[in-house]
Amino acid sequence: MSKSISLNNLSPASSSNVVVRTCLRVLDWLLGIRKMDRLYQSHRMQGLSKEQFADSLIKLLDIRVEGEAELLDKIPRQGPVVLASNHPFGGIEGVILARAISRVRPDLKVLANQGLRLFTELQDYFIFTNPLKEKDPRNGPSLRQCLQHVKQGKALLMFPAGRVSYYQADKKRVSEHTWNRVIARLCHSPDCLFVPIFVSGRNSALFYRLGRIYYRLRMLMLARELLNKRGATVRLDAGFAVKGHLVDSPEHCRALSYAQAAHWQQPWPPDTVGELNPLAEPTHVGSIETELAQLPVEQRLHQHKHFSIYYAWQHQAPNTVREIARLREYVFRQHNEGSGEPLDTDRFDASYTHLFVFDELEREIVGAYRMGQTDRLLAEANGDLNALYLNRMFEFDPTFVNRREPALEMGRSFLIPRLQRSHIGLFLLWRGIGAFVCQFPQYRTLYGTVSISKLYDMRSVALIEKAHVTPSADARPRHALNKAVHAEVAEFYAHTSPVTTLSSFLRSLESDGKDIPVLMRQYLKMGATFHCLGIDPSFNHTPGMLLSVDLPKAPEKLKRLYLGEGNQDDTNWSG
C-alpha cells in the first residue's frame, strides 16, 4: 500500500537514485502534488477501497455532479458497451465517471492516462496507457486487454483524445484532440453498444495560456487543475446507446460526444395552445356513407380489400370533411401539433381537394391528405399566392410555383393510431395519390411539407435540416428554426455525408430511438428534394420541411406500386 501521493510512485525503480528522487520531490512541490498529498494524509484516504476513495475525493473537493441519474438511466445494464467522453479537465472527470458508471456496471474498466497511477487506491478501475505516444509498443497489451474486456461482454470507459482539451488557434476555441482510432475498432466488437458522453467544464485560463506556449506544460499543470476544482459543478450529459456498427470512425464517435454538450441543448418554446378544448363529437357514420354513395363514380379512386379510397370537395361531402377535420385534430394532438380547437379546420378546407381512405368493415375514415390543385386555386384567385396554404409558412417567389404548375400541394396528412405502425396505411394513401394523378396526368409534381413533431429534440431537427435540405433560392421559411448545428458536429459533417450518419445521431438523442419521420422516409424513396425547414405558427409552431417530388423521375418500382401497372401509360410522362 502506498503511504503517500508522489511522482516516485510512478517510477519506483528510481527511488534508489538520490538525484532523481530529489528532482521528483521538487516537481511534487512545483506541480501541486505535495499539496495533494497533504490532503490525502490529513483525510486518511490511504488504503480505502476504490469506491470509498472516489467518494472521498469528490466530497473533499466539494464537487457537485449534475446529470448523474440521467447518465445512469442510459447505460445498458448488461452486455458489451463502450462509453467514450471528452476530457475537459484531465483527471477528475475520470474519477467522477468511473465512480458513477460502476454503480450500474461493476464490471467497468477505464482506459486511462498513466498519470492516474498516483492514486494507488483507484488502480483497480484502470487499464493504463500512454496517450501521448499512440504508437508506443507498450500500449499494445493495454489495448488488447480492452478488446478482450469488451468481447467478454463487459463495460469500458475511454477518453479517446488521450489528452486534456486545449485551446486550438485554428478553431479559436477549446476543443478535443483527434480521437484514437481504437475507439471504432472496439465499438465493432460483436453486439457492442456505444454510449457517447460529454462533460461540461473548463480548466483555468492560465492552463490554456501555458499550453499555447508549450503543449507539455499542460501535463505539468494537471495536479493544480484538479485541486482548483474545489466547489465546482461538473455536468454530465450522455446519449442513448447506439449500436456499435453504426459508428464507423473515431471522428464519428467524437461528434456524437459533442452532440450531447449541455450548451447545445435547448427546449422548444412553450406551446401556443393553452387548454385543449374537447374534441368535437364524431360525425354520424350514416351521413358519411350517404355522401360517399352520392359521389361520382370516378371519385372512388381505388379499392383494396375492405378499404376504399376517395377524393371529394367540401361542398360535395361536408359531413365527411368535418369528420376528417375532427380526426386530424385527434391525431395531431398526440404529436403535440393540435390546434386545441374541437376541429382542425381553416378556410382552405373549402378550396382544397380531400383524399381519404374509408374502412368499410369498421365503417370509419382511417387516413387522409389535403391536396391543393395549384392551377385551379391560382386561376380562381387571379394568381394570388395567398390562395396556397403553404404560402403562409414559406415565402414563395412566383418561380417556385410557376416552374411546378400545375402541381399538387400536399399537406395535413394523418393516419389513425391503429394504422400508424402498419405499412398498409401509408400504402393506401400513396395508392390514392397515384390513382388521382393517373386520372389527372397534368399533375407531374407534388410539393408540400413533412411535419417534424416537437416530440423530437430540437437538436435532432437541426441535424435533419443539415442532412437533407438543399437550399432553394425561390422558397424561404417565414419563420426559420434558427438552431445552428454544434460547431464540432458541423466540422465532422464537412468531411463526411450527413445523411449516412444521421440515424446514429438521432438514436443517441431520442429517448424512444426514433429515426426520421416515416412520411419523410417515404418522400425520400420517391426522390424528393427538401428545400428548407420552417416553423408553422398556425400549427402550434411545429417545424416542417418543404419538399417537392418530380413524379416522372420517381423510381420505377414505386411508380408501378402506386400508379398501377395498367395506368402508367395513361399519365404520358415519357416526354
For residue 206, what pLDDT band results from cuts at 50, 70 and 90? Answer: confident
pLDDT reading at 314 higher than 50: yes
pLDDT reading at 398 higher than 50: yes
pLDDT reading at 405 higher than 60: yes
pLDDT reading at 202 higher than 70: yes
CA distance 54 to 48: 9
- For residue 399, what pLDDT is reported? 86
pLDDT reading at 1 higher than 50: no
User: What's the one-letter identity of residue 302?
Assistant: H
CA distance 389 to 356: 19
For residue 453, what pLDDT band results from cuts at 50, 70 and 90? Answer: confident
Average pLDDT for the chain:
87
Burial of 318 (0-12, 13-18, 19+ CB in 10 A): middle
Coil/strand/helix, residue 567: coil
- For residue 43, what pLDDT is reported? 59
- For residue 125, what pLDDT is reported? 83
- For residue 134, what pLDDT is reported? 57
For residue 569, what pLDDT band results from cuts at 50, 70 and 90? Answer: very low
For residue 138, what pLDDT band results from cuts at 50, 70 and 90? Answer: low
Angle at 122 (CA atoms; ends 84, 70), nearest 5 degrees = 40
Tens of pLDDT along 81-126?
999 999 998 888 988 999 999 999 999 999 876 656 666 777 778 8
- For residue 41, what pLDDT is reported? 63
- For residue 47, what pLDDT is reported? 72
Distance of CA 215 to the CA centre of its chain: 35
Distance of CA 164 to the CA centre of its chain: 26
Mean pLDDT of 251-275: 90
pLDDT reading at 200 higher than 50: yes
Q: How many CA atoms lie within 13 A of 302 on its CB side?
A: 22
Angstrom CA distances, 326 to 158, 228, 273, 466, stand at 52, 61, 17, 34
pLDDT reading at 565 higher than 50: no
Domains of the chain, with CATH numbers?
1-41 (no CATH), 47-264 (3.40.1130.10), 285-571 (3.40.630.30)
Coil/strand/helix, residue 563: helix
Angle at 480 (CA atoms; ends 476, 482), nearest 5 degrees = 135
CA distance 299 to 287: 18
- For residue 493, what pLDDT is reported? 92
- For residue 559, what pLDDT is reported? 86
Cβ contacts of 35 within 8 Å, gap of 6 or more = 227
Q: Which residues is 197 bridged to in the sheet?
A: 85, 238
CA distance 50 to 33: 20
When mean pLDDT is compared over 123-127, 270-274, 307-311, 332-336, the highest value belongs to: 307-311
For residue 543, what pLDDT band results from cuts at 50, 70 and 90? Answer: very high
- For residue 497, what pLDDT is reported? 87
pLDDT reading at 335 higher than 70: yes
- For residue 140, what pLDDT is reported? 76
Q: What percent of the chain has pLDDT over 90?
A: 61
Neighbours of 365 (CB within 10 A): 23
For residue 17, what pLDDT band results from cuts at 50, 70 and 90? Answer: low
For residue 575, what pLDDT band results from cuts at 50, 70 and 90? Answer: very low
pLDDT reading at 165 higher than 50: yes
- For residue 123, what pLDDT is reported? 75
Cell numbers placing 292:
360517399
Burial of 333 (0-12, 13-18, 19+ CB in 10 A): middle
CA dihedral sign, ordered 238, 244, 250, 255: negative
pLDDT reading at 15 higher than 80: no
pLDDT reading at 552 higher than 60: yes
When mean pLDDT is compared over 123-127, 406-410, 418-422, the highest value belongs to: 406-410
For residue 410, what pLDDT band results from cuts at 50, 70 and 90? Answer: very high
CA distance 121 to 65: 21
**Segment among 137-146, 319-328, 527-536, 543-552 with least mean pLDDT:** 137-146
For residue 574, what pLDDT band results from cuts at 50, 70 and 90? Answer: very low
Q: What is the DSSP string of 18-33?
A: HHHHHHHHHHHHHTTH
pTM: 0.85
- For residue 103, what pLDDT is reported? 96
pLDDT reading at 11 higher than 90: no
Mean pLDDT of 250-276: 90
- For residue 86, what pLDDT is reported? 96
Instruction: With beta carbons less than 8 A apart as the criterion, state whether 6 and 20 touch.
Output: no
User: Can you give the C-alpha Rg of the chain in angstroms?
Assistant: 30
| Of 161, 176, 51, residue with least CA distance to 103 | 51
- For residue 566, what pLDDT is reported? 41
Mean pLDDT of 364-382: 95
pLDDT reading at 571 higher than 70: no
For residue 572, what pLDDT band results from cuts at 50, 70 and 90? Answer: very low
Instruction: With beta carbons less than 8 A apart as the criterion, state whether 356 and 391 touch.
Output: no
